[in-house]
Amino acid sequence: MHVPEDEYARIEAEITSSDSPVGIDVKKTHVIILHKLMEIERRLSELEGRGRAGG
């Protein structure tokens, strides 16, 4: 998977944590992932709803 450098840098800056032994804020990272998954699920439901209404 290719992530454009500017997007990679933006995400990296958002989740980096000097307080963490692994270098990232794990809780924040999971919240971002879950939030994005919920956005995808919502958008998919909207698309599916449009497909049913048109079909």
pLDDT in tens, the chain (55 residues): 899 999 999 999 999 999 999 999 999 999 999 999 999 999 999 999 988 876 5
The number of folded domains in the chain is 1
Domain of residue 45: give its range.
5-54
Compute the Cα dihedral for 10, 14, 19, 24 and give only its sign: negative
Alpha carbon distance 45, 55 (integer Å): 15
Confidence (pTM): 0.75
